[in-house]
């Protein structure tokens, strides 16, 4: 694991090799403001909190996570640099973790850019800052899950557009699994135990509780297990693709 952090640094700095990363962060922060103040009718609610922001944030991740993850492995395979990467003195697991960590740090940076909303809501009123801080941590954990899914999708193909679509589709499934329309449809054909299992797999189910400032052990287990599972899938896919 000695090669982990140098590779994380290499991957993280690669995001800023072009101005695209800066533009992306600015656009993400701007969209967060639009969803909070315009679509989330922040002023009309008359409540000093960031619930509108966190309610829409997972849907912003639906675009952000695939956009960040699509290049992680697809670009390496397209340019042929994956062969060079695999000849370095590191394991596939180390490479997968390093790429994921670099992307997760970048998503964390994008979240930091939205903290102007936190400053604004404190200027306008007296919010529960502990709840907001916990919600930000939950948001970053959710971003980590989505990024792990996207990284696994990126390892399947050398085409970044296909990688983006696959990741977005996968994230969309896990986002909507816990919505009333999906659960109601499931109840019509499945036993309650299966319906509960579908709801438990939904990222929205676990994000909702921490959005209220409540940290539940089952939510932490969900985030950790989902990240580990999709990183494991990522490792398996990369190993299988070595023969291509």
pLDDT in tens, 59-108: 999 999 999 998 888 777 776 666 666 666 778 889 899 999 999 999 99
For residue 179, report the phi and psi dihedrals to the nearest 5 degrees. -75, 150
Rounded to two decimals, what is the model's pTM? 0.90
CA distance 150 to 235: 13
Q: For residue 159, is pLDDT > 80?
A: yes
Mean pLDDT of 173-201: 85
Do 151 and 96 touch, CB atoms closer than 8 A?
A: yes
Domain count, the chain: 1
> What are the tokens at 66?
């695939």
Q: In which band, very low, low, confident or very high, does the pLDDT at 164 lie, cut at 50, 70 and 90? A: very high
Domain residue limits at 110: 4-241
């Amino acid at each position: 694991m000695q090669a982990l952090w140098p590779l994380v640094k290499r991957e993280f700095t690669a995001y800023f090799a072009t101005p695209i990363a800066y533009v992306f962060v600015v656009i993400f922060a701007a969209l967060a403001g639009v969803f909070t103040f315009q679509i989330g009718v922040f002023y009309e609610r008359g409540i000093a909190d960031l619930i509108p922001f966190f309610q829409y944030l997972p849907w912003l991740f639906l675009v952000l996570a695939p956009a960040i993850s699509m290049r992680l492995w697809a670009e390496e395979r397209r340019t042929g640099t994956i062969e060079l990467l695999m000849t370095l003195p590191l394991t596939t697991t180390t490479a997968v973790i390093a790429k994921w960590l670099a992307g997760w740090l970048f998503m964390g940076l994008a979240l930091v850019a939205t903290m102007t909303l936190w400053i604004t809501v404190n200027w306008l009123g007296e919010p529960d800052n502990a709840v907001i801080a916990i919600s930000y941590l939950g948001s970053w954990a959710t971003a980590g899950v989505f990024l792990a899914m996207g990284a696994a999708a990126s390892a399947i193909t050398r085409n970044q557009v296909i990688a983006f679509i696959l990741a977005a589709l996968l994230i969309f499934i896990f986002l909507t699994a816990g919505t009333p329309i999906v659960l109601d449809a499931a109840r019509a054909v499945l036993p309650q135990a299966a319906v509960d299992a579908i709801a438990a797999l939904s990222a929205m189910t676990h994000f909702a509780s921490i959005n209220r400032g409540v940290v539940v052990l089952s939510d932490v287990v969900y985030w950790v297990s989902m990240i580990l599972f999709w990183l494991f899938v990522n490792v398996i896919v990369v190993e299988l693709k070595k023969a291509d």
